[in-house]
């Protein structure tokens, strides 16, 4: 089992450096994790990877600019009420309060959305959450980083186009989790279908998605050219198995990044072979950053994953991406507000808004090709929009594309329109980004 | 017509799988009057324990990983674990609550649900696992080629297995001494005790058998969708089956399962598109509610009569 390390300090060795020397500064990061319940497999992988990366920074580099990273986990079980409870419990912990809140749950994200501006804690939602929060003018405290669902949907169409050449007259089925999450790509796909002349049929799967017989019989009737799988949890392996059962080629199925982990394909067995899914991080343990974690963290028996074979898996590496971005945001904020001391949530927010992790920096971090380059601003809290595609070869994920750019023109317009509507509803005056430094 | 038949047959086969889970509820309710909310958790526990043993046994015994010997040894050990869980439940949770109102027992099983889920994940971890029973989930070629009707080999196998299990249990209840004692306990605890039927013994047997049913259900559902926490949700599929078939009838569980399975699939295909789809999760409950209005005790349930 993954050990539930509820109060595991990343830098137990801080203490006094020598007699007469003051206590080293510590940056507190509250982690609203979930290691039990329905989504434990994802939670344990992502939070495990994040924790391991923080421990790497502490063990190898002595912290960020001399400041040790300390963290505390709070179990949410992916439950909104518990997520809010964790938020409240952790917001004032540490020297300067919680530096950031990243619940790995769209539901919890919405539950604390109105709280973060008052508490001055950046809400970081990497690959989930509210898409229009990418407009930093309206959502200064929210960071749906790297890429959003809308961006991803446009890359999916680009990917299919690269395979088909021409989309006019093609049929695409969107098999989606019947929830707000599953409905996220509808508008984007409709717009792209109208622009490119393909037909999109949306078929809902009721939660949890462990029965899809009727949906796949409908797909068999429709005979689509491609099926986009917008699933979550048990819905994914069930869809892959049902596709095999109905004779639909897995090579013509494209998954969202919550359908593209080992946890989605292994249960489907041979039925998953040939299935391709999006990812804003890739799988694999051959990247220098992962090798460093193995050397400096697991080598000292300080790894968070009890099952070390999961190091390098999709979810684990996604956690490492969370860690990299958090550390770079703190580093950036230290450049402005000073090193050697703990920063406030407000200062870390500035770091998140001024991230510039280019390819050179990624190479320095040992993460070239591991995640896309990221540059945020007051206007743009997404920062990238790029995804890679990986195909399951029956045993592991294999990267099959380079980073594919989103259709930014289309997506940005939709984001601004939606954010403006939100601002109007809430009476928010959008920031003037020309005045932000 | 071909499409209609395809949906109908697929629904009926799925329905048998729902019956399998419903059966676990019926067994315990028949014997003790307890609605065991933890049945879904037991399915998860059973499947996870089985898969867990298949992972550790090769290291412990030197047997070939994925081999037949490991499979059967893991099955026996998982079954033994379920029996131990059943007996422990009876001794620790239910026995102290004898003669308490049904709602108290029901609440106890809600607590048991969380405990069983936690223990399962605590012992074997939260990782999602695959489970291969060696039966391919592919269409039956003859039906596909001759009639263009898609029927899954795996679903057919699962339905036959479930049917066999239900038949065996029906015979067990009807014709064995333990079965008769069990029915006596189900009818009246006090009367059964007064003629010397050991109540606790019978309860332990029932929980053990329910554990066996949970193991079979867990293996089939686990092979279909992977062994993961979502197996606990199979219980949600069983509830409308129970309402329809009656909480005390083994044949009712089968008939209820067939009706629910077929109707939810047909509704999803023919009604779903008009209401936005994804109606499979709630349609069976609507059907069950409508049915309750007409026949509250279910198709085969015992009519409750109070003399005033």
Do A325 and A271 have their domain in common?
no
**Nearest chain A alpha carbon to B265:** A214
Quick check: is A14 in a domain? no
Q: How confident is the model at residue A14 (pLDDT cuts 50, 70, 90)?
A: very low
Q: Does A36 touch chain B (CB under 8 A)?
A: yes
Q: Give the tens place of pLDDT for each residue, B209-251.
A: 889 999 999 999 999 888 989 889 888 888 999 988 888 888 8
Decide if A234 is inside a domain. Answer: yes
What does the alpha-carbon distance between residue A294 and residue A317 come to, in Å, rounded to a whole number?
13
Residue A204 is nearest to which of B118, B122, B276, comparing CB atoms? B276
Backbone angles phi, psi at A130, to 5 degrees: -90, 115
Chain B contacts in chain A segment 207-266 (CB below 8 A): 207-208, 210-211, 213-215, 217-218, 220-221, 233-234, 237-238, 241, 244-247, 263, 266
pLDDT band at A231 (very low <50, low <70, confident <90, very high): very high
pLDDT more than 90, % of chain A: 85
- Check whether residue A168 and residue A301 sit in a common domain: no
Is the pLDDT at A76 greater than 50? The verdict is yes
Helix/strand/coil for B110: helix
d(C-alpha A28, C-alpha A262), whole Å: 31
Same domain for A344 and A304: yes
Calculate mean pLDDT across residues A175-194: 93
The pLDDT value given to residue A9 = 41
In terms of domains, do A165 and A197 share one?
A: yes
What number is the average pLDDT over the span A239-247? 91
- If asked whether residues A394 and A304 sit together in one domain, one would say no
**Is the model more confident about A137 or about B145?**
A137
In terms of residue numbers, what domain contains A336? 26-147+283-375
* Mean pLDDT, residues A241-253 taken together: 93
Query: Please, are residues A53 and A44 in contact by the beta-carbon 8 Å criterion?
Result: no
Residue A434 lies in a domain: no
Q: Indicate yes or no: CB of B224 within 8 angstroms of CB of A238.
A: yes
Residue A254 domain-assigned?
yes
A302 vs A65, B71, B97, CA distance in Å? 22, 35, 46
* Candidate from B10, B131, B279 with C-beta closest to A206: B279
pLDDT at A132 over 90: yes
Q: At what angle do helices A186-196 and A149-164 cross, to 10 degrees?
A: 30
Instruction: Please report which confidence band the pLDDT of residue A12 belongs to, taking 50, 70 and 90 as the band edges.
Output: very low
Per-residue pLDDT tens digits for A260-292: 999 999 999 999 999 999 999 999 999 999 999
Higher pLDDT: A18 or A393? It is A393
Cβ neighbours of A310 in B, within 8 Å: 127
Q: Which of B153, B230, B274 to mutate to test the interface with A (most CBs of A within 10 A)?
A: B230
Cα–Cα distance, B74 to B68 (Å, whole number): 10
Q: For residue A394, what is the DSSP state?
A: S
Q: What is the pTM of this model?
A: 0.88
Confidence at residue B305, expressed as pLDDT on a 0 to 100 scale: 67
Give the C-alpha separation, B113 to B48, whole Å: 15
Provide mean pLDDT across the span A126-140.
Answer: 95
Most confident residue range from A105-109, A349-353, B21-25: A349-353
Is A201:A221 a contact under the CB 8 Å cutoff?
no
Looking at residue B308, its pLDDT comes to 66
The answer to whether B281 contacts A247, with C-beta atoms less than 8 Å apart, is: no
Report CB contact under 8 Å: B150, A218: no
| CA distance, residue A349 to nearest chain B CA (Å) | 33
Q: So what's the pLDDT on residue B281?
A: 83
Confidence of residue A54 (pLDDT cuts 50, 70, 90): very high
pLDDT at A73 over 90: yes
Q: Is residue A186 domain-shared with residue A222, that is, in the same domain?
A: yes
Closest in B150, B276, B280 to A246, CB measured: B150
Rounded-to-integer distance, Cα B244 and Cα B32, Å: 20
Do residues A302 and A294 touch, judged by C-beta distance below 8 A? Answer: no
Q: A348: domain CATH number? A: 3.40.50.2300
| Closest chain B residue to A315, measured at CA | B127
Which residue of B128, B154, B233 is in closest CB contact with A266?
B128
Burial A74-111 (b: 16+ CB within 10 A, else e): bbbbbbbebbbebbeebbebbebbbbbbbbbbbbbbeb
Q: What is the pLDDT of residues B281-291, one digit of tens each?
A: 889 999 999 98
pLDDT at A8 over 50: no
Is residue A95, in this structure, part of any structural domain at all?
A: yes
**Residue A22: pLDDT band with limits 50, 70, 90:** low
Q: What is the pLDDT of residues B192-209, one digit of tens each?
A: 888 888 887 888 888 888
Q: Is residue A41 part of a domain?
A: yes
Give the total number of structural domains in chain A. Answer: 2
Instruction: Report the 10 Å Cβ neighbour count for A211.
Output: 29
- The verdict on A57 and A134 lying in the same domain is yes
Q: What is the pLDDT of residue A18?
A: 41
Q: Which residues of A touch B52 (CB under 8 A)?
A: none
Say what the pLDDT of residue B184 is. Answer: 84
A64 secondary structure, DSSP code:
B
**In angstroms, rounded to a whole number, what is the distance separating the alpha carbons of residues B228 and B16?**
21
Q: At residue A16, does pLDDT exceed 60?
A: no
Residue A435 domain flag: no
Residues A271 and A399 in one domain: yes
CA distance B183 to chain A (A): 34
- Residue ending a domain, choose from A350, A375, A400: A375
Q: Quick one: average pLDDT of B274-301? A: 85
Assess A271–B contact: CB distance below 8 Å, yes or no.
Answer: yes
* DSSP letter, residue B141: H
Same structural domain, A180 and A229: yes
Residue A222 confidence (pLDDT) above 50? yes
Which chain B residue is nearest to residue A222, measuring alpha carbons? B3
Q: What is the dihedral of CA B231, B156, B164, B130, to 10 degrees?
A: -30
Of B229, B237, B278, the CB nearest to A204: B278
Which of A211, A180, A181, A177 lies closest to B267, judged by CA? Answer: A211
User: Is the Cβ pair B279, A202 closer than 8 Å?
Assistant: no
A72, A83: one domain: yes
Are the beta carbons of A269 and B279 separated by less than 8 Å?
no
Interface test with B, best of A39, A210, A236, A311 (most B CBs within 10 A): A210
Distance from CA of B9 to the nearest CA of A (A): 11
* Alpha carbon B82 to its chain's center: 14
Q: Tell me whether residues B128 and A211 touch, CB distance under 8 A.
A: no
Residues A156 and A206 in one domain: yes
The answer to whether residue A173 is domain-embedded is yes
Q: For each of the domains in chain B, give its residue range(s) and CATH number, in order of start.
A: 2-294 (1.10.3470)
Indicate yes or no: CB of B11 within 8 angstroms of CB of A2: no
User: What are the backbone angles phi and psi of residue A237, rounded to the nearest 5°?
Assistant: -60, -35
Q: If pLDDT is split at 50, 70 and 90, which confidence band does A6 have?
A: very low
pLDDT at A220 over 60: yes
Domain edge (last residue) among A321, A352, A375: A375
Average pLDDT, chain A: 92
Give the rounded percent of residues in chain B with a pLDDT score beyond 90: 31
* Residues A328, A405 within the same domain: no
Q: Do A245 and B278 touch (CB under 8 A)?
A: no
Please compute the mean of the pLDDT values over residues B188-193 and round it to a whole number: 81
Q: Which pLDDT score is estimated for A199?
A: 97
- For A337-347, the pLDDT digits (tens) are 999 999 999 99
Question: How far is the alpha carbon of B142 from chain A, nearest alpha carbon, in Å?
Answer: 14
């Amino acid at each position: 089992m993954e050990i539930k390390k509820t109060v595991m300090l990343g830098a137990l060795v801080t203490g006094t450096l020598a007699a007469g020397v003051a206590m080293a500064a510590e940056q507190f990061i509250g982690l609203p994790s979930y290691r039990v319940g329905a989504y434990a497999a994802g939670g344990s992988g992502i939070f495990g990877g994040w924790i391991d990366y923080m421990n790497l920074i502490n063990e190898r580099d002595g912290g960020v600019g001399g400041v040790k990273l300390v963290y505390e986990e709070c179990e949410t079980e992916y439950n909104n009420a518990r997520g809010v409870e964790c938020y409240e419990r952790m917001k004032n912990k540490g020297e300067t309060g919680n530096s950031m809140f990243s619940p790995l749950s769209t539901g919890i994200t919405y539950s604390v959305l109105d709280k973060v501006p008052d508490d001055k804690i950046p809400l970081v939602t990497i690959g989930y959450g509210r898409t229009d929060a990418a407009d930093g003018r309206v959502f200064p405290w929210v960071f749906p980083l790297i890429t959003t669902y809308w961006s991803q949907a446009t890359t999916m169409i680009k990917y299919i186009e690269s395979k088909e050449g021409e989309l006019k007259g093609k049929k695409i089925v969107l098999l989606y989790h019947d929830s707000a999450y599953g409905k996220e790509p509808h508008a984007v796909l409709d717009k792209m279908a109208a622009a490119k002349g393909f037909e999109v049929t949306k078929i809902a799967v009721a939660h949890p998605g462990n029965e899809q017989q009727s949906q796949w019989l409908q797909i068999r009737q429709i005979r689509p050219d491609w099926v986009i799988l917008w699933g979550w949890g048990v819905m994914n392996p069930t869809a892959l198995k049902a596709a095999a059962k109905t004779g639909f080629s897995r090579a013509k199925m494209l998954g969202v990044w919550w359908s593209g982990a080992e946890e989605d394909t292994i249960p489907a067995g041979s039925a998953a072979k040939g299935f391709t899914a999006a990812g804003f991080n890739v799988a694999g343990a051959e990247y220098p950053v992962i090798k460093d974690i193995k050397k400096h963290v697991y080598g000292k028996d300080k790894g968070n994953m009890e099952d070390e074979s999961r190091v390098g898996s999709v979810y684990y590496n996604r956690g490492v991406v969370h860690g990299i971005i958090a550390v770079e945001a703190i580093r950036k904020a230290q450049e402005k507000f000073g090193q050697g001391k703990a920063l406030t949530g407000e200062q870390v927010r500035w770091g998140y808004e001024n991230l510039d992790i280019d390819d050179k920096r990624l190479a320095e971090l040992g993460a070239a090709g591991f995640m896309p380059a990221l540059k945020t601003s007051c206007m743009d809290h997404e920062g990238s929009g790029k995804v890679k595609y990986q195909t399951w070869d029956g045993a592991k994920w294999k990267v099959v594309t380079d980073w594919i750019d989103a259709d930014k023109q289309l997506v940005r317009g939709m984001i601004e329109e939606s954010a403006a509507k939100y601002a109007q509803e809430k009476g928010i005056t959008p920031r003037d980004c020309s005045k932000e430094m | 017509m071909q499409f209609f038949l395809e949906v109908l047959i697929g629904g009926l086969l799925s329905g048998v799988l729902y019956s399998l889970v419903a059966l676990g509820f019926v067994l315990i309710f028949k014997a003790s009057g307890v609605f065991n909310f933890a049945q879904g958790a037991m399915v998860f526990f059973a499947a996870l324990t089985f898969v867990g043993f298949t992972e550790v046994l090769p290291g412990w015994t030197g047997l070939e990983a994925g081999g037949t010997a490991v499979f059967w040894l893991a099955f026996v050990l998982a079954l033994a674990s379920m029996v131990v869980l059943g007996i422990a439940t009876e001794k620790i949770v239910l026995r102290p609550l004898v003669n308490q109102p049904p709602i108290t027992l029901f609440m106890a099983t809600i607590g048991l649900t969380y405990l069983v889920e936690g223990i399962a994940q605590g012992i074997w971890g939260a990782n999602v696992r695959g489970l291969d029973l060696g039966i391919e989930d592919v269409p039956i070629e003859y039906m596909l080629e001759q009639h263009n009707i898609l029927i899954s080999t795996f679903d057919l196998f699962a339905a036959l297995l479930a049917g066999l299990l239900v038949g065996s249990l029906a015979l067990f209840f009807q014709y064995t001494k333990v079965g008769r004692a069990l029915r006596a306990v189900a009818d009246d605890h006090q009367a059964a005790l007064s003629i010397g039927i050991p109540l606790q013994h019978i309860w332990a047997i029932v929980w053990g058998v329910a554990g066996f049913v949970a193991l079979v259900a867990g293996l089939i559902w686990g092979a279909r969708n992977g062994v993961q926490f979502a197996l606990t949700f199979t219980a949600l599929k069983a509830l409308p089956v129970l309402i329809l078939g009656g909480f005390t009838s083994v044949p009712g569980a089968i008939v209820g399962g067939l009706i629910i399975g077929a109707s939810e699939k047909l509704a999803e295909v023919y009604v779903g598109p008009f209401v936005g789809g994804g109606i499979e999760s709630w349609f069976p409950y609507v059907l069950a509610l409508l049915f309750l209005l007409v026949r509250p005790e279910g198709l085969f349930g015992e009519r409750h009569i109070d003399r005033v």
